[in-house]
Amino acid sequence: MTFNDLKEALYLFGFHENDLLTIKRIKQRHRSLVKKNHPDLHVNADQERMRKLNESARIIMDYVNSYRFAFTEEEFYRQIPEEHLRYQYSWDPVWSGTLEEKK
């Protein structure tokens, strides 16, 4: 697989290379596209498009399943920005909720 293969697969799915995707979202999009393009469901369906969709799904899932996950604190806060804000401003009584408790 090349990066261009991956970009083309993402484009076919309506995604962009900068999108943050979950496996669940990828599978949902694949299901949705299959329902719209499957030859058994639509008389005029393009079998070549269906083949490309399935190949694109394989490319994307191969990439995602080969991805190495980091479990560092830095990566955690990058993946969950609202937790980063909570951590960053935990000293602030407005953000930490302690201001409301004192009233």
Average pLDDT, the chain: 85
Report d(CA 26, CA 50) in Å as an integer: 16
The pLDDT of residue 38: 76
The pLDDT of residue 6: 93
Would you say 30 and 70 are in contact if contact means Cβ atoms under 8 Å apart?
Answer: no
At 87-96, the pLDDT tens digits run 888 777 776 6
Domains, the chain, in order of start with CATH, read: 3-102 (1.10.287)
- pTM: predicted TM-score of the whole model, two decimal places: 0.67
- Does the structure show a pLDDT above 60 at 10? yes
